[in-house]
A = this chain, B = another copy of it.
Amino acid sequence: MTATPHPHPSAALAEFAANLRFEDIPAPVLRRAEDLLIDCLASILAGANMRPIQAMERYAAAMGPTDGAAEVLISRRKTSPLFAAMVNAAAAHVVEQDDVHNGSVFHPAAVVFPPALAVAQALGRSGKDLLVASVAGYEVGIRIGEYLGRSHYKIFHTTGTAGTLAAAVTVGRLLNLNAEQMLHALGSAGTQAAGLWEFLRDAADSKQLHTAKAAADGLTAAYLAKEGFTGASHILEGEQGLAAGMSTDADPARLVDRLGERWALSETSFKYHASCRHTHPAADALQQVMREYKLRDTDLAEVITHVHQGAIDVLGPVVDPKTVHQSKFSMGTVLALIAREDRAGLAEFDAALGNADVAALRTKVRMELDPEVDAAYPERWIGKVTVHTTDGRILQGRVDEPKGDPGNTLSREEIEEKVMRLGMYAQAASEGEIRDLINTIWDLENIARMGTLLPNR
């Protein structure tokens, strides 16, 4: 690295993405890409029956072709890659179980894998091609998210904005765009980049629209570049480019940070619990205490979670959750599920709504601001709990990295378990089908030509 600003960061990213070869990517990065892919596919299946996803699929069926080589995983319908990418990307994000890159506050899987899979199927690309394209999308998208920075994230959903460029790079790689075409694709993607947080106030469906459109618009940008359609060459750093319009603290050095040496994909975290990420450190710390001392939920008199301010800001208002979705933002509910079920997954949240025992346990949990935890955030998400038992013991639990973070990641066994649970959740696939799906992804590197992942129904 050097203190001299790169003269053309957008071109450096385009060149990196266009020239990345399978042989350049370390084996652990490839394995991790497979982990993230199967994690994403499971999230898609889990989102199959959600209202906004069903609405999106009806729209796609009305506007898109009724046949094609790309697979809408939630309905097993075949169509053109545009619509398969759109619906699968919407579904990937809806149950809030898809991956997250902490530093860029960006969910790469939902916008990278759906277009990668759809285009690989449409063009009959190999599993290796799919992997290379996905890695390129992660590396470029994460750096763009880091570049756009905190000022951007205050108003814009980075997964929608940076995600459009990540999807363009992913698809561009599968289309074998050269560096010049890839730069055009970045230009056309960046000038479509969008996604505002305003929907949060209404709990509206826009989060799913953002991932759907990032995937679809990035795909559009790449295909147009292949057709000779041109874009701005400095879309990221130019005077009227993405950062000029949507960020006040953009740092161009982040765009080209150790390209080809640092693998940002490997920094990406899995979501283990099916709840707001701010609940995860405390959930892990309580689980540690429960397991170590072989406690039952009835042993708990009080649980104090020692948290960062952000957790209090987001979770504090949720005292009496009225919906399943809202209960995922209730620290008391999450910890009650850990205490009772040793798990806070999708099925546990569904069953817990209105349960009197869960509600009673919820009132025994409270949050306290902890200076050490708060100072470490957001680089590190430390979990600390103090448990008072009904027999008068005071027990401490602590995790320094929540389950799913790179330093405390999931094993393949744990990933398979999560995938099986998510995959079965909406009955969008049978146990055998999910087992086959897992095996397909573990063998991805050896697939010569990507076909459909699920059998016809």
* A interface residues (Cβ-Cβ under 8 A, vs B): 51-52, 55-56, 58-59, 62-66, 80-83, 154-156, 160, 184, 187-188, 190-202, 204-206, 209-210, 213, 217, 220, 223-224, 227-235, 238-242, 244-246
Contact = CB atoms under 8 A, between A and B. Distances in A.
Nearest to A231: B204
Contacts of A58: 227
A160 B229 CA distance: 17
Contacts of A82: 63
Contact of A235 (B196, B227, B245, B246): B196
Contact of A65 (B51, B66, B242): B66
B184 A190 contact: no
Contact of A51 (B154, B190, B228): B228
25 contacts: A52-B230, A55-B229, A58-B227, A59-B224, A63-B64, A63-B65, A63-B82, A64-B65, A65-B66, A155-B240, A155-B244, A156-B245, A188-B206, A190-B196, A190-B198, A191-B195, A192-B194, A198-B232, A198-B244, A199-B231, A201-B240, A205-B231, A206-B230, A209-B231, A245-B246
Given A63-B65, A63-B83, 19 more contacts: A52-B230, A55-B228, A59-B220, A187-B198, A188-B206, A196-B241, A197-B240, A198-B239, A199-B231, A199-B232, A200-B240, A202-B230, A202-B232, A204-B231, A204-B232, A204-B233, A205-B230, A206-B230, A246-B246
A213 to B, nearest CB: 6
Contact of A234 (B160, B190, B201): B201
A234 B199 CA distance: 8
Kindly report how many copies of this chain are found in the complex they form together: 2
Contacts of A188: 205-206, 209
A190 B83 CA distance: 21
Contacts of A223: 59, 62-63
A236 to B, nearest CB: 9
A63 B80 contact: yes
Main SS of chain A's interface residues? Answer: helix
Q: Which 8 A-B pairs have the closest CB atoms?
A: A55-B227, A197-B240, A198-B232, A155-B245, A199-B232, A194-B194, A204-B230, A198-B241
Given A64-B65, A65-B65, A80-B62, A205 B229 contact: yes
Contacts of A234: 198, 201
Contacts of A193: 194
A93 to B, nearest CB: 14
Contacts of A190: 196, 198
B229 A196 contact: no
A122 to B, nearest CB: 9
A217 B83 CA distance: 14
Contact of A209 (B62, B192, B197): B192
A302 B223 CA distance: 50
Nearest to A220: B59
B202 A233 contact: yes
B64 A80 contact: yes
A77 to B, nearest CB: 13
